Amino acid sequence: MIIDANQAASHGTDEFAYLAGQVDALNSRSGRSSVAVPVVERVTVDTATGSISALRFGTDTPAVVLLHGAGLNAHTWDTTVLALDLPALSIDLPGHGDSDWRSDADYSPAHMGPAVADAIAAFTDTPITLVGHSLGGMTAAWIAAHRPELVSTLLLVDITPGIDGGPGPAQLRAFYEKAEFPSRDAVVDWAQSFGMGGDRADTERGVFFNTRVREDGSVVWKHHFAELARHVLPGAARTEGTPALRLDTGWDDLAAVTAPITLVRGASGYINDAALAAFRERVPAAAIIAIDSGHNPQETNAAELADIVREVAA
Residues designated catalytic: 134, 158, 295
DSSP 148: G
In terms of DSSP bridges, do strands 88-91 and 64-67 run parallel, antiparallel, or are they unpaired?
Answer: parallel
Of 278, 282, 274, 262, whose CA–CA distance to 131 is shortest?
262
Closest CA to 155 of 70, 88, 71, 65: 65
Which DSSP symbol is given to 143?
H
- The order of strands in the sheet holding 88-91 is 40-47, 50-57, 88-91, 64-67, 128-133, 151-157, 261-266, 287-291
* Contact indicator for 47, 121 with CB cutoff of 8 Å: no
Distance set, CA 260 to CA 151, 263, 286 (Å) = 9, 10, 7
Give the span between the Cα atoms of 85 and 27, in whole angstroms.
13
Distance CA 191, CA 175 (A): 8
Question: Are the C-beta atoms of 55 and 41 separated by less than 8 Å?
Answer: yes
Return the DSSP state at 64.
Answer: E
Helix (H, G, I), strand (E, B) or coil at 155: strand
Residue 251 CA, chain-centre distance (Å), reads 20
Mapping DSSP onto H, E and C, the string for 205-250 reads HHHHHHEEECCCCCEEECCCHHHHHHHHCCCCCCCCCCCCCCCCCH
